[in-house]
Structure formats: structure tokens, C-alpha cells
Structure 1
Amino acid sequence: MGEASREEYKIQSFDAETQQLLKTALKDPGAVDLEKVANVIVDHSLQDCVFSKEAGRMCYAIIQVNNMPMMALVNPVYDCLFRLAQPDSLSREEEVDCLVLQLHRVGEQLDKMNGQRMDELFVLIRDGFLLPSGLSSLAQLLLLEIIEFRAAGWKTTPAAHKYYYSEVSD
């Protein structure tokens, strides 16, 4: 990840000390307490749902630097995903999109590190799909797609790709 793209993260709402912590974590994760970084990101995500998408991008970037092991981020990332899988979040397409996007990015790794929590998360996702009170058609489609994605071993089957991503010809 290039130096310029690291500066794209929306961290201006944090105080100067926290901004510096996050910038350091994005450049050199080994130089900071990742648990502290994760707690800052999770706390802010839970207070500001719009920031949760940015939080996912930041966590993904942090674990990609030097192939950093993501053990310190596993539970905080799960906490964010669980928040996004709650009924009030599932009723908003933007939050469903964020949930699905993050699961596409790091779901397989999270599943390997703590499959029990992933099972619990997918119970919430399944229930959200099956009990669509106020769930839009797009949100239902996204949830169904991520359920099938995990069931297929975190891979998109040719049939699923055709169903979800091919345009219907008239």
C-alpha cells in the first residue's frame, strides 16, 4: 500500500494524539499497541455507523502491512461485524453493504481464527435475511450472497457469480 493512499483515511475527527497513533499503526503496526488501536477504531465505529466502513478499511490496511498477524484485531473486528449484523443496522443498505464488503475482505481469515464467533455472526445474518422487517430487496440479496459465499468455502461459484453479478438480458 503506497504512502499517499495511507493518508486517505478519514481520521480528522480524532484528537491529534489518536490521529498520530492511527497513522503510525497504518505505517508500522509493530510500533504500536494494536489492542489500543483496535479499541479506538471499534469505539468510534460504534458511535458513528458511517465511520464503520472506514474502520474496516483501516483494519484491513493495518493487517496487510508486512503481513502482520491480525490476532490483536480479531475480536474488535468481530465486534464491529456483530454491530453491523443487528436488526437496526440490517435495515440500512449502506450498513449491509459495509458488512458484506468486510466479510468478503477478511471473512475467511476471521473464520480460521475464530470459527465459533463466525458461526454466531452468520446466525444473526441468516436471521436478518429470514425475518426481513424493513429489509430492502438489495439488502436481502447482499445477505443471501454472503451466506452462499461462506457456504462455498469463501469462494464464489460460477453459478453464484452468474446469479449475483451478471446482468439480465431482455
Structure 2
Amino acid sequence: MTVPKPPLSPLDFHAKQAKLFSDHLDGLRDDSTVVLKAHLLIEEMCRDFCSGAVANPAHLRNARFSFNHVVKLTRALCPMESGNFEYIWTVISQLTAMRNQLAHELEPDGLTFESHRISIIDSVSRRQAVGGSDEPAERLAGALSFVLGALSAWLAVSMAMLRDKESGLSPSEHVHELGLLSLPPDQ
């Protein structure tokens, strides 16, 4: 009988995600790999969060949830509304459409794929400069890296809030406590 691993702490969760992003997204130069890797990273992150957010994570270990189920469960378990992070879910939806095109169409529609890419980069560009190369795949990878980092931080704060319900700390105080940003806590 295998002993189940305890859920990750919020900081360990965030550190694990950062390492995975670095290991699997850095230096990618083709659309297919960027889309497939980012989609897998989001799924892994959401599954880790869900396991850390419930009282009995062993019941989730062998569950055969689809990607869509895992994302909806993640959203349902978060103790704070998406608010300024709502764009993340839109990007995830667009990324999923791109992934499904690659996985289920022998010759994906290039215009639809490109419109999703432009929309993802534009959505992120409104929040953060998407620098780097003029190569479309590298710009997409940069935008998705930003989204992955933002989602990881938001889920780490959510995890801390779930574990420390009695503290009465605000989300920004949890961010400060976790050291995710170098900002003073709210007064």
C-alpha cells in the first residue's frame, strides 16, 4: 500500500510550478509544443491546487476528471472571486481551443488558431509587456508564462487562505506573508 503524499504548502506549490514552467516552457519555439506544454502545466497546477484545497485529497488521486472539470473545480474551490484575474480563465479557454484544434484536427484552421494566439497575447499585453522575439511562438510562450505565473500566485494565495481561515488575513496580506510580491500589506 502506498502512503499518500501530503498536499504541498502554498510556497512549495508556487515553487513547484515555477520550476515546471522553467523546465518545460523556456526556449520553446514552435506553436504546437508551446500550446500542449502550457495546457499540461495548467492542468497539473489545477490538480495540485484541488488536492491541496480539500480535506481528503486521496479521494481525488485516481479521479478521471476532464481538463474542463479540473478547471471548474479549481474555480469553485477558490475562496476569492476572480476579479482582476478573470482574464486568466479566458486565456485558458482560448488555449484549450488551440489545444483541441491540434489534438483533434488533422489540418487545423490557421485563421482560428492565429486569432486565439493574438487574443491571448493581447490579453496579457494589457497587463504586462510581452517582450522578447518577434517570433509568434515565442511571444505566445511569453504570454502563457505570464498567465501561468499569475495563476500559480493566485492559487498559492487561495491555498493559504483556505488553510488559514481563522487568521482573518486579507488576500493582499497573504500575498505579503507568502513573499510573492514585495509590497506592504493593506492597512
**What is the TM-score of this pair, normalised by structure 1?**
0.32
Asked which structure has the greater RCO (Cα within 8 Å, sep 6+), the reply is 2
Q: Which has the higher helix share?
A: 1
